[in-house]
Structure formats: structure tokens, C-alpha cells
Amino acid sequence: MNKLTFSIGGIHPSDSKISRGCKIETLPLPPKVYVSMFQHLGAQAKPVVAVGDKVKAGQIIAEPGGFISAYVHSPVSGTVKSIAPRKDLAGFAVMHIEIDVEGDEWAEGVDLSPELVTNIPEDRDFILDRIKMCGVVGLGGATFPTHVKLNPPPGKTAECLILNGAECEPFLTSDFRILLERTDEIVVGAAIMQKVLGGCRCVIGIEENKPEAIEAVSASVARLGFPGMSVATLKKRYPQGGEKQLIDAVMHRQVKSGGLPIDVGAVVQNVATSLAVYEAVQKNKPLVTNTMTFTGNVVPPERQHNYLFRIGTPLSFIAEQAGGIPENAVKLVSGGPMMGKAIANLEATTVKGSSSILCLGDETRRHPETACIRCGRCADACPMGLEPFFLKKLYGVGDTDALERNAVQDCIECGCCQYSCPAYVPLLDNIRMAKAQVMGIIRARNAKK
Ligand code: SF4
Ligand code: SF4
């Protein structure tokens, strides 16, 4: 079988998919939810409810704060208790709507029946409006509003929709489980997106370490018979699920520095986003649930889980349901070990894009940094063709012009460089800060134009 992959860099960490056999379990409702107004890329959402209001699950509680923004819905039925800043998982204060949970009564018009609906609406504007009104955002990490991404600007045409089922980050298994357990809905979601994009072809990319998912999705694609849709087996290689890496693997095209996937005719969506699109368009169900993995190498096998959660659920509640955080956990991460964010605050709550609570042990402790031995491994590993050590050096001397010339803004923060470094140089930490500086300069320059 021809296995596709990207052309430069990459690494092969152990995949550690310990929870792959854990079926999706529905978490019970917590006593309270705290729904963040900042669950997507772009402007914060603006609350449209007031303290004391009664709300139902699936009801709009906040509207988009700009063109790049998204609607937010109540994940439960209950009473709005407060609208106030609260710390997110990194410890930053973000506006949240606190709701006392009083039940699970859903807003009128939301179809919660399990029947598969395969007839796709004809009207493109209707589909895009449903996706927008249901608050669907990209669930592969970026949380970019989906209705915007599915509506390319004039002059740009989508030739290929790539559905990302790589799940290349170690430990994470929620995408794998939905590929097995929600297969047909994901395939219908992909067909809906093909239609919105003008009938382009669709390639569903899945890494070779998930043969059951490849088999299930291939069978569904054949059975449902949507035209122009196929499944591709991807090599197990990190970061295979990176947007630019997937486009390289599937279409053999390179997105230029500063460019977008649509510039080369590609639109990339995650499989969980496809499921959310299905639920929005075919069931009128807003994005208030997602699937996450509770895992880590310090979590005993019987306490590994894949959970269906409501947005706004406190992480501490989820940990409690899973039997608690193991005592030997050294670090907690939301997302994968390579690109995830450290959890500094377990009282933070889930957002649309939450994908895991990862409990890591001693192996995550930092080694003392030693001198660079100029081995070049960091450059060999970089999937964006950058020179990580040189970028770190430029950041050290504050040369932002040279950092921009050397494309620090193209860094996808995958961590391959730091993972490969035998001297334990904190490359990513430095490059991330350098990138933030340069992006700020680019944004300010563009705003003046
Ligand atoms: S973190 Fe950035 S510089 Fe390092 S390997 Fe990834 S893309 Fe390259
Ligand atoms: S991998 Fe580490 S030791 Fe090797 S060149 Fe890069 S920074 Fe230096």
C-alpha cells in the first residue's frame, strides 16, 4: 500500500496510544459549567444573556465579536449565575458565563435522535449559515471559525478537501475513537463540506497505526457512495497532521511562506470538525460537546478514558470522574505532549477544542541544558525547513529583522527541533517568543497599509 508523507523533517516519537481501546463514555453533567467567551481564533464572543436568565442546552448565550469569531451556546439547561472573568488553563483571566446546571433540556429544533441523515441540503448559503449559527470551529487545534474557512475569497478555488485523521500527537486517541464510533457521520460531514466547496475531491488521511479506522472509514465511504471521496494511508511520522505537512503529503504542493492552504487549492479540516459540521447541518445541533482523552503514562490502564464532554466542564470534575490525578504525575497537559499547553489551573474548564487531560511522569522533567555541539539535528528535524539554532541565536541578540528574513513566522511550534536536540537546548521556548515578537511587528505593519 502506498503510504503518503511530507517531504522534509519530522520525527518518530513513540505513539503511546494507551487509551486506544477505551470506548467513548458520556461524562455526567457537572453541578456548574463555566463557558468561556474565548473558545475560537479571533475576537472574543459577546454575552447576550444576563445574570438570572434561564437557558436551555443549545441556546445561543454569546454572539461573535467580529468577522473572525463564533457563536457560543449553553451546554446545559439551568440559570445564569454570573458573567465575569475567570482563569483559563494557562492562568489568564477570560470572560466566562457561569451556569448552575438544573437539567438537560434542549432548545427547540435540535435533533438529538441517533438516525443517520445522508440527504445533504442543496442550498450552499443554508449550509454555511447553519455551520455559523451552530458555532462550529476547527477542532484540530487552531479553532478557526469553520464557516469562514469553508468560504474561500473570490478568485480562490478549493480543489481538494483534506480531512485530517492523522492524530499524530502521542497519547491522544479521541479522533481515533470517533473515526471508529461515529464513522458515517464524519463521512457525511465531509460530503457536506465538499458540496460547500463546489464539489471538490476529498481525501481522508489516516495514519498507518490506526488500521481499524482506515478499514471502517473506507467501508463507510464505499457504502455511502459520495462522489470524489477516498481514504489515504499516511505514514506514522510527527507532525503528519500539520496543515502544510498534510497538503504536501496528499497533494505534493507546498504552501509558501505567509501563504494559506487555499492558495494551492487545499482546505484542511479535522475529523472532529467534520462530525461537528454533520451535527450542525443535519441535526441543527450546536457545538457544545466534543471528545477528549484522559491518559498519560502515569495513569493505570483501567483509569484511561475517552470521554464525550460538555464545554464548560471543570477539568477537576473530569479528573474526579476518572479517579483523580495520579500522585506521581509531574505535569498535566491539555492536548498532546508535543504541542499541548501545560495545565496551570485544574479549575479551568473545557472549551470547544479541548482534546485531552494528559498526566505525564518523571520523563517530562527538563534536563539541564548543555552547550550546542553543532550537530544540525534540529535543522534536519524541522518540517518547515528552518534553522532552529540560528533562530534562537538571533532571538538572543534581538535581531527581529533577521528573524523575519529567516522566516521565524513560519514556525508551526511542533517541537521537533527541541525533541531532537542532544544538548537539551530549549529551542522551542525561544523560537516561540521570537515568533510572537515578529508576528506583532508584521501585524502592526499590515495595519498601517
Ligand atoms: S518548532 Fe518550529 S523551528 Fe522547531 S522544528 Fe517545529 S517548525 Fe521547526
Ligand atoms: S540539535 Fe541542539 S546541539 Fe545540535 S545543532 Fe541544534 S541546538 Fe545545537
**In this model, does residue 17 exceed pLDDT 80?**
yes
Question: How many CA atoms are closer than 13 Å to the CA of 360, on its beta-carbon side?
Answer: 23
Q: Is 380 in the pocket of ligand 2 (CB under 6 A)?
A: no
The tens digit of pLDDT for each residue in 168-186 reads 999 999 999 999 999 999 9
Atom of ligand 1 nearest to the CA of 388: 3
pLDDT for res 73: 98
Residues 431 and 300 in one domain: no
Final residue of a structural domain among 365, 395, 425: 365
Q: Ligand 1 test: best mutation among 417, 420, 430, 433, most atoms within 8 Å of CB? A: 417
Residues 355 and 395 in one domain: no
Neighbour tally for 439: CB within 10 Å: 13
C-alpha cell at 367: 534536563
Atom 7 of ligand 1, residue of closest alpha carbon: 411
**Nearest ligand to the C-alpha of residue 390?**
2
**In this model, does residue 122 exceed pLDDT 80?**
yes
Q: Is 423 in the pocket of ligand 2 (CB under 6 A)?
A: yes
pLDDT for res 111: 97
Helical H segments across 110-182, by residue range: 124-133, 146-149, 174-181
179: in domain: yes
Q: Which domain range does residue 240 map to?
A: 1-16+110-365
Residues 346 and 432 in one domain: no
Bridge partners of 223?
none
Question: How many CA atoms are closer than 13 Å to the CA of 346, on its beta-carbon side?
Answer: 12
Residues 242 and 262 in one domain: yes
Q: Is 262 in the pocket of ligand 1 (CB under 6 A)?
A: no
Q: What's the domain count of the chain?
A: 2
**Position 264, amino acid:** V
> Rounded to the nearest whole angstrom, what is the distance from the C-alpha of residue 419 to the centroid of ligand 1?
10
- Distance of alpha carbon 103 from alpha carbon 322, whole angstroms: 22
Atom of ligand 1 nearest to the CA of 239: 6
Which CATH number fits the domain that encloses residue 120? 3.40.50.11540
Residues 334 and 220 in one domain: yes
Confidence at 346, pLDDT banded by 50, 70, 90:
very high
pTM comes to 0.96
Percent of the chain scored above 70 by pLDDT?
100
Final residue of a structural domain among 365, 391, 424: 365
Taking the C-alpha atoms of 300, 293, 42 and 147 in order, what is their torsion angle to the nearest 10 degrees? 170
pLDDT for res 448: 80
Q: How many residues does the chain have?
A: 449
Residues 339 and 391 in one domain: no
Confidence at 1, pLDDT banded by 50, 70, 90:
low
C-alpha cell at 444: 502592526
**Nearest ligand to the C-alpha of residue 11?**
1
pLDDT for res 106: 98
Indicate the average pLDDT of the chain.
96
Final residue of a structural domain among 341, 365, 389: 365
Residues 354 and 382 in one domain: no
39, 70 Cβ separation under 8 angstroms: yes
pLDDT for res 41: 86
**In this model, does residue 438 exceed pLDDT 70?**
yes
Q: Is 376 in the pocket of ligand 2 (CB under 6 A)?
A: yes
Residues 213 and 321 in one domain: yes
112, 283 Cβ separation under 8 angstroms: yes
- Rg (the chain; Cα; Å): 21
